[in-house]
Structure 1
Amino acid sequence: MPHHRHHWHDLPGSLRREVERHTGGIIRAEIVPDGASCELAVTLDTAAGQVFCKGGQADSRTAWLYRKEARINRWLPDVVPRLRWTVERDGWLLLGFEHVSGRYPRLDPGSPDLDAVADLLAMLARDLTPCPPVEVQPFTIRWRGLIAPELVDGDTLLHTDMTPRNFLFGDRLRLVDWSAPCRGAAWIDAAFMLVRLILAGHTPADAEAWARQIPAWAQASDEAVTTFAIGLVRLGEQRQCSRPAPHRGPLLDAAQAWSAYREGASGQ
């Protein structure tokens, strides 16, 4: 989490006035508590409705994430909230998005939300292949040293951050926070979500049975999936050593359970 989450009224007045050129007068600003990398995340109430505003200092170590998210938004399907404006002024970079309200989906066994999550991942893999003509990091580069490149290479635009907090269930299921996109094999987002299901109480076998309803996953090679699971454990161990955090331990446990299941299944 960031060291300090700024409030709207902490910002320079000239910056707030620049935002109001896009939004009209702001009646109220309410801090959004979730979100790992934003220095500012607020819901702005205006006469024309609500806007979600996120961002931070333009020279901060996370500013590139905001720029990346702004660059790819126009290429994403409409289940992703639209970017309405970008303001860079007085050393700050702010993004204003269509406001989406909703609850996080439940991922536990028997949850009625699981089918909608699978449908959304299937749709994204289909609609974002081939990858739109926007510069994003290849997954082969992001996971360099963790996996043989040919096993994860592909031409699908991936989200890669499958935390349930990035899904919002309102009138339909939406996927937010595209700050870590990648280009790679179409099944990778389903693989990241599968670990979240194990974390939520599914057995690895049941989580894989759920994933098989996603066509991109069903077409993945066993070798690629098993090697991915092993790589995910290695990555989790590296992160736990270099940047320990309370959420990393349970995620690593889930990845280890999946990897052990994959290696056992492949050894039969």
Structure 2
Amino acid sequence: MAMTHTDWSDLPQPLRDAVEAKAGRVVSARTVAAGLNSQIAAVLDTADGRVFLKGVPLEARTALASQRREAAINQFVLAVSPQLLWSAETEGWSLLAFEYIGGGHADYAPGSPYLDDVVKVANRLHRVTAPDLPELRAADQRWSAWAGADDAGLLAGDSLLHTDFAGHNVLIGEEGGAWIIDWAWATRGASFIDPACLLIRLIDAGHSAKSAELWAQQCDGWDGADDRAVDVFAAASARMWDDIAKAEPLQWKASMAQSAQKWASFRRGAS
């Protein structure tokens, strides 16, 4: 369930005091429109510099688990992600403060000048060794309900995966280059899964399934992928997004369900 963002000025004063005790006096604050997993998502200009603040209530157990996962993984993904400056659980909230990276979110539309940067950052991530963290989810378990018990094992692997390549989770820096943010769904699994998650987003942005796969094939994680495993993941993704769209019938979820189905149909035709 997506969270509605709360502006800095609407936060309880004790919580704002706790933030300023760590970040410095807040001169101005701007709520970020993108992002679905945090109730607080704000750029803070402070007397000590600019930071990006994320926060979720401690009582929101699913969001809290994701927040803690993101904090645990950060030190291992600094090659592709902003650095976590500090974290705190105080005044009923879990808070994460990251270094601020100026720029904008990636545009995945056909012909976008950012697609090469997106592939490059995916390849940088592929070179990151998956840490041994209990917070990491396992791909074969995460998709087992949609892949089936007999085929879920094809999704297992030792690669560190982000798995949520929505355009708002990829920042294009003001001086070029791309950064991956929001590690709520960090997972260990087969290396082709991240390129596959990206290609469904590309289809949703207007690419054909064939074109999206050609972009995925430029990602190092796709190399050597077993065709059967890719087919299983495509079918599982279509079932997963269909369930997500039915559970909460928002337009963007319905669009993702249609895009995942287009890829699954393409894979069936290719097979």
The answer to whether the superposition gives a TM-score over 0.5 is yes
1:104 aligns with 2:74: no
Q: 2:247 aligns with which of 242, 251, 256?
A: 242
Instruction: Tell me the residue number matched to 2:54.
Output: 54
Instruction: Tell me the residue number matched to 1:120.
Output: 121
- Partners of 1:215 and 1:93 in 2: CA distance: 35
Instruction: Tell me the residue number matched to 2:133.
Output: 134
Q: Is the 8 A contact 1:125 1:216 kept in 2?
A: yes
- Partners of 1:180 and 1:209 in 2: CA distance: 25
Q: 2:171 aligns with which of 164, 168, 176?
A: 168
Q: CA deviation at 1:175?
A: 0.8
Cα distance change, pair 4–114 in 1 and its aligned pair in 2 (3 A) = closer
- Partners of 1:264 and 1:5 in 2: CA distance: 42
Q: 1:149 aligns with which of 132, 136, 152?
A: 152
Cα distance change, pair 4–207 in 1 and its aligned pair in 2 (3 A) = closer
Cα distance change, pair 121–206 in 1 and its aligned pair in 2 (3 A) = same
Aligned-pair Cα RMSD in Å? 1.6
Q: CA deviation at 1:70?
A: 0.9
SS for the counterpart of 1:169 is: strand
Instruction: Tell me the residue number matched to 1:41.
Output: 41
The residue identity in structure 1 corresponding to 2:239 is R
Q: 1:201 aligns with which of 185, 201, 206?
A: 206
Cα distance change, pair 245–90 in 1 and its aligned pair in 2 (3 A) = same
- Partners of 1:4 and 1:218 in 2: CA distance: 39
Q: Is the 8 A contact 1:18 1:87 kept in 2?
A: no
- How many pairs were matched up? 264
The residue identity in structure 2 corresponding to 1:142 is R
**Superposed, which structure 2 residues align to 1:158-237 within 5 Å?**
158-170=161-173, 171=175, 172-237=177-242
Q: Which stretches in structure 2 are left out of the alignment for 5+ residues?
A: none
- Partners of 1:249 and 1:96 in 2: CA distance: 32
SS for the counterpart of 2:44 is: strand
What are the Cα deviations for residues 65-95 of structure 1, in whole angstroms up to 9, with x where unaligned?
A: 1111111111113320111111221211111
The residue identity in structure 2 corresponding to 1:68 is R
- Partners of 1:118 and 1:263 in 2: CA distance: 25
Q: Is the 8 A contact 2:80 2:125 kept in 1?
A: no
Q: Which stretches in structure 1 are left out of the alignment for 5+ residues?
A: none
- Partners of 2:241 and 2:24 in 1: CA distance: 45
